[in-house]
Amino acid sequence: MAGPGAAEVVRAMTGALVHRGPDDGGHYDDPPAKLCLGMRRLSILDLAHGHQPMANPEQSVWIVYNGEIFNSPDLRRGLEQRGHRFHTANSDTETLLRLYDEKQEGMLEELNGMFAFVLHDKRRNILFGARDRVGIKPLYYARRPDAFAFASELKSLLRMPGLTRTLDESSLSHYLTLRFVPGTASIIRGVSRLAPGHWFRYGLETGRFETRCYWRPSFAPQEERSVEEWSELVRAELGAAVRRWSLSDVPIGCSLSGGLDSSSIVGLLAESGHRQLKTYSLGFVGEGAAELDELPLARAVAQRWGTDHHELVLQPEDLLRDLLKMVWALDEPYGGGLPSWYVFQFMQQDVKVGMTGTGGDELFGDYGRYIQLEQRTSPGTQAAPLPAWLERGWPLVASLVDQIPHGIGGLRRKERWRHYPEARRDPFGWDYVQAFYYLSESMKRTAVLTSPSDGRIIQDTVELLRDHYRESQSEQPRDAVMHLAMQTQLPEEFLCMTDRFSMAHSLEARVPFLDHLFVEAVMRIPAQIRTKPEDPKYLLRQAVRDLLPDDLLHAPKRGFVIPTARWLRGPLRPLAERLLAPARLAEQGIFRPEFYARFVQPHVEGRADYHPQVWTALMFQLWHNLYIEQALTECPHFSWQELCR
């Protein structure tokens, strides 16, 4: 932080981040500059010499840094050849400092990894910070006329004096449509998130702030290769990424779901020489769990490579055990999947680094969301037409493809009709998808949200998504949909959840599918080869088929579906009826009081199925209770049951 009282404030801020770095902590104070930098460290590389904040030899540049630079050994060798002398054994933090000394902002082009860092350059009298290309690691910041502060998590930044906990209405509106908060504006007014692939500069004397993009997804001119040659390229590039991202001085484990992505990571790690690799799988018992169980597939992969395999089996209701801890850990409202919390909790008992398959879906087909788009696209058009699901709001294409995601898993369309026949009889006349899937713009305006009392304009979520869709500048819908996901859902839902849930358990989650060299290689592959409508991951499947059991290669995508509809009529009914009661909504002034009669009451009484709307609103209310109403500064020590009283 730069500003009055920085030393005291930063010590409070780092105190809120001990879970992200329980191994070490430190502070750098510069009283003349009214500046303090603070750090909590999870030791992964150079355990003895990686203490932060760290300075260059002249102490003219200081850094605080979260993440890993996986090409640090190569960068270090090049720097040494150019005359730099290192004082640590293999700290990638020192590599960053020396690279900045040499190239300043240009250093970012050299980095391969997941990172968020801020440097104090005393020579230029600036703070310089950056976030990795795809947004794996977070970086929040806030500005006042006399101060500037930044942090890895919102809960830490809220310790900044003068920062009021005021709801950002546009972010709430986006959340109600998407179940996550997209973009650079956070859920708190005045708190921003540095966009993926961007850097910032803040003048300590002038107070001038600027941010620039140094990387964005680009569908570059594509080479002419056969399917077999592209498959070989995917195998080689993904294998290289997995080897890079296994850089560690501590043991590594793998989350193994039984799906293609995580199984590929395990196979490639084992093939590269990692012996006695630890793998962790989560299974469920209870209603509907058997047909979605992937434990046998995960077990087959573990047996194929001789891993030290561990399984945790939960009842669906077990996911409610730590509900408030999850809400607290996530920083911002989130209505998506919860099971990863228990995977990371399970892994942390043995390891400090966990590999996951996050990113594979977005790179290879994204559940086939492009299918109907291509049927509407005219050859030679400058840009793909907007998808029907995007124009309606973001119902995740339930009407376009059979397999659709829902939280951590999915149901086929015919199964959704069997489970939710009430949607056909929706009394408000909305499209059946929107009748039970998130909230459209019209629904928000007419049935959910009140108008802002100060007359503020609420940003249209559909317009936000359309802008990202068009930014791809590709004629191929497959490219445009991939670009949209990489700018919204991937960084601010899946990667956000992965980072917060893993770091809540002091575990570093790594995502080698999102190695930027691999991402760029995949974006060079022609869209019609990269993914096929009948098999979105065809090319990836071809590339790794020799590593995996046949049953897994041909298994449909599965995954546990959170039983929110049943929860809201069962154990969570008292909580929903209290937090979404008409009198409370009227007093709160955010939701229309009639939201209860239109959505909550019909659902909990079993007369209609509005569980997506009710669950989305309830998860917001839990967040609002902890972060706004109670203004907590530490993880709650009470249960969600106590909020029902």
Residues 566 and 568: their CA atoms lie apart, in Å, by 5
Cα(37)–Cα(35) distance, rounded to whole angstroms? Answer: 7
Closest by CA position to 96, among listed 122, 119, 120 = 119
Q: How far apart are CA 196 and CA 611, in angstroms?
A: 32
Q: Could you tell me the maximum CA-CA distance found in the chain, to the nearest angstrom?
A: 74
C-alpha 99/C-alpha 544 separation (Å) is: 36
39: β partners: 26
- Angle, CA 30 vertex, CA 28 and CA 34 arms, to 5°: 120
**Distances from the Cα of 135 to the Cα of 114, 337, 341, 466, 498, angstroms:** 8, 19, 20, 20, 11
Asked if the peptide bond before residue 53 counts as cis, ω within 30 degrees of 0, the response is: yes
Distance from C-alpha of 366 to C-alpha of 485, rounded to nearest angstrom:
8
Q: Is 331 left (phi over 0), alpha (psi -120 to 50) or beta?
A: left
Q: Taking the C-alpha atoms of 41, 44, 48 and 52 in order, what is their torsion angle to the nearest 10 degrees?
A: -30
Amino acid (1-letter code) at residue 71: N
Question: Contact, 461 vs 445, CB < 8 A?
Answer: no
Contacts of 327 (CB under 8 A, 6+ apart): 334, 619, 622, 623, 626
Q: Which residues of 87-122 are buried (b: 16+ CB within 10 A; e: fewer)?
A: ebebbbbbbbbbbbbeeeeebbebbbbbbbbbbbbb
Spatial strand order in the sheet of 252-255 = 308-314, 278-284, 252-255, 353-355, 508-510
95: part of which helix (H) or strand (E)? helix 92-103
Tokens linked to 127? 């703070």
CA distance 171 to 156: 19
Phi-psi region for residue 165, left (φ > 0), alpha (ψ -120 to 50) or beta?
Answer: beta
| Among 178, 110, 73, 128, CA closest to 441 | 178
Amino acid symbol at 283: G
**Bridge-based pairing state of the strands 209-213 and 126-131:** unpaired
Cα of 302 vs its chain's centroid, Å: 27
From first CA to last CA, the distance across the chain in angstroms is 40
Coil/strand/helix, residue 261: helix
Alpha helices by DSSP H, listed for 20-88, are 72-81
- Determine phi and psi for 211, rounding to 5 degrees: -135, 145
At 597, which amino acid appears? A
Cα Rg of the chain, angstroms: 24
Residues with Cβ < 8 Å from 344, sequence gap 6 or more? 255, 354, 501, 502, 504, 505, 507, 509
Residue found under tokens 């003068």: 162
Residue 454 annotated as binding site: no
587 CB-near residues (< 8 Å, 6+ apart)? none
Q: Binding site residues for L-glutamine, as ranges?
A: 92
Q: Binding site residues, as ranges?
A: 92
